[in-house]
Amino acid sequence: MSDWLTAQEVMDRLGLKPQTLYAYVSRGLIEAREGEGDARRSLYRASDVGLLEYRKLRGRRRSMVAEDAIAWGEPVLASEITTIAHGKLWYRGEDAERLSQTAKLEDVARLLWNCGSARFPTQHWSIPTGEVKSLLFAALGHRAAHDGPMQGRSAEDLYLEAASLLDLVTDVVAGGSGVGPIHSRLGRAWNCRRTGSELIRKALVLLADHELNASTFAARVTASTGASLAASVLAGLAALSGPRHGGMAGQVEGFLEETRGSTAIDAIKGYLADGSPIPGFNHPLYPDGDPRARCLLDGIKLPNDFAGLAAAASGMPGLKPNIDFALAAMTRHLDLPPDAPFLIFAIARTTGWIAHALEQHKTGRLIRPRARYTGPTPRWEG
């Protein structure tokens, strides 16, 4: 099916009049663009039409609206931090791709935290040896158990604590305290040359935040209880550890392993036949392709198997690499540790989790949604 529909196709599917279709476009419910070769003939995004069609079939009871909203649906809370619009990622109105060309993660942290003067003093943590992911949970768990709540703290005090947490997470991943920008510290720890450290810098900036994803929502819910910044970051890390979130880059390598027993095209067709998402490709919020992947892949010479998979996917309509594919490719390109995608993700997203925790703290509101009960009818005797 085409990614774009004609006006008549949209009106037939949704039962609309022309004026109603134009109203939907003006309200941002359906994206429109000029038709190829004819600027007077507009085309309309099929995925937007499909979502409206689905909602029409289900009806718009309040319970259904709420349930749809938490699964790639309508926004559920207000935030000034990050948005995805026009196929791009924006940090407080700044284009994340443009920022990734020169900015350090520390620069983006100041932007997301809305504190241009925040300092990142070098601290000296005693980092034990061990499996890095376990050490991350242990270090943040210790801080969460002992740090005080955000309530009653000055903004400057909270920014210092935020910088301290980012430094701690970086030191755990790098295997000890260090000086210099975060990407340089990681580059030294992983024996990267300057070009490798620059790729890590770009990845960190592109991954710093991504609106209200699963781990960010977990961090905001935790912050809404009045818990500490460390507890909020720990909640984000816990959610990130799941295979459908921070573990997706690892699944790309697993998918590549599958293609070695057949052809990449056959492997892709197998996933499509099962209706399964293809690891490393497409993103619900970027119908025209993940801009973070495009940006990061610009600086990477794809290993042969990655190049073959990308070429096979490019021959199928609508399949475009996402950030997980790019992270996995960068890891292989730079010969980084196998868990580097998750660790880079965790350091980068710590800045976003903190930004959302600070914003949620300022609202003074508890996030407490209701469940739509589907169990046995309560036996009430009144």
283, 290, 339, 356: which one is catalytic? Answer: 283
User: What is the CATH superfamily name and number for domain 78-366?
Assistant: Citrate Synthase, domain 1 (1.10.580.10)
68, 95, 245, 333: which one is catalytic? Answer: 245
pLDDT tens column, 181-232: 999 999 999 999 999 999 999 999 999 999 999 999 999 999 999 999 999 9
Evaluate if pTM is beyond 0.75.
yes
What pLDDT does 143 receive?
95
pLDDT tens column, 113-150: 999 776 777 777 888 889 999 999 999 999 999 999 99
pLDDT tens column, 15-55: 888 878 877 887 678 888 887 766 667 888 888 888 787 66
Extents of the domains making up the chain: 4-57, 78-366
Known catalytic residue: 283?
yes
Farthest-apart Cα atoms in the chain, separation: 74
324, 339, 356, 361: which one is catalytic? Answer: 324
Q: pLDDT at residue 2 above 70?
A: no
Q: pLDDT at residue 163 above 60?
A: yes
Q: Can you count the helices (H) and strands (E) in the chain? A: 18, 6
